[in-house]
Chain A
């Protein structure tokens, strides 16, 4: 019972490099999310996807792109990494309405941009 799986767990990038963070869920959830966590800032929503084929901007989308490849997978891409993007990134999934609306989180990706 994997839940939400994120890869990689750790990454160091040089300024200007690109990378994609991968996320997959096996709970058949419609909604998926990407958050970043910074000290004193809590979790800030980067992008979310309410269903396969749809994505929407959250609170801090600049510098990021996303792809909802299918119902299971939701990837986050940094095209040109900046030191300000040093953070811990979390992927989550949930149902949108009904009894099971709580989100399940991956273990996080710790990204450092130097």
Chain B
């Protein structure tokens, strides 16, 4: 079955430093991969996606992610963190085997950016 793992419950980084939030996945065939962000008491907001093509994808608010097929990873990155980036981040995957019908999420990683 398709699944997503986010190995870190929380990531702490100082403002201005680069950040990485890790995600690995398990699917059959080529996946569709997504990152979402959730601010307190809000729904999820889409950040970026990988469907096909370039392994490095750029998204909203300066975030980017790199698709690595050999490592089955899709880590979220940002060159310079902002305090306002503090939020809950979710990685998600669609599996070609299920016709891309199911959208499955990881458990989330809380990002805390300190001033």
- For residue B36, which residues in chain A have a CB less than 8 angstroms away from its CB? 105
Q: Does A74 belong to the interface (CB within 8 Å)?
A: no
Beta-carbon contacts under 8 Å, A45-82 to B: 45, 48, 50, 56, 58-59
Which residue in A45, A97, A104 is a CB contact (below 8 Å) of B102?
A45
Beta-carbon contacts under 8 Å, B1-58 to A: 6, 9, 32, 34, 36, 42-46, 49, 51
User: In the complex, A44 Cα to B105 Cα: how many Å?
Assistant: 7
Contact A43 B102 (CB under 8 A): no
User: In the complex, A105 Cα to B107 Cα: how many Å?
Assistant: 17
Contact B32 A90 (CB under 8 A): no
- Which of A42, A96, A101 neighbours the largest number of chain B CB atoms within 10 Å of its CB? A42
Size of the A side of the interface (Cβ < 8 Å), in residues, is: 29
Q: Given A42-B90, A101-B32, A102-B34, A50 and B101 touching (CB < 8 A)?
A: yes
Q: Does A41 belong to the interface (CB within 8 Å)?
A: yes
* Shortest Cβ distance from residue B51 to the other chain A in the assembled complex, whole angstroms: 7
Q: Given A106-B43, A108-B43, A96 and B107 touching (CB < 8 A)?
A: no
- For residue B32, which residues in chain A have a CB less than 8 angstroms away from its CB? 101
Q: Does B83 belong to the interface (CB within 8 Å)?
A: no
Q: Given A41-B107, A102-B49, A105-B43, A96 and B90 touching (CB < 8 A)?
A: no
Q: Does A12 belong to the interface (CB within 8 Å)?
A: no
Q: Does B99 belong to the interface (CB within 8 Å)?
A: yes
Q: Does B87 belong to the interface (CB within 8 Å)?
A: no
Which residue in A41, A90, A96 is a CB contact (below 8 Å) of B43?
A90
Contact B44 A96 (CB under 8 A): no
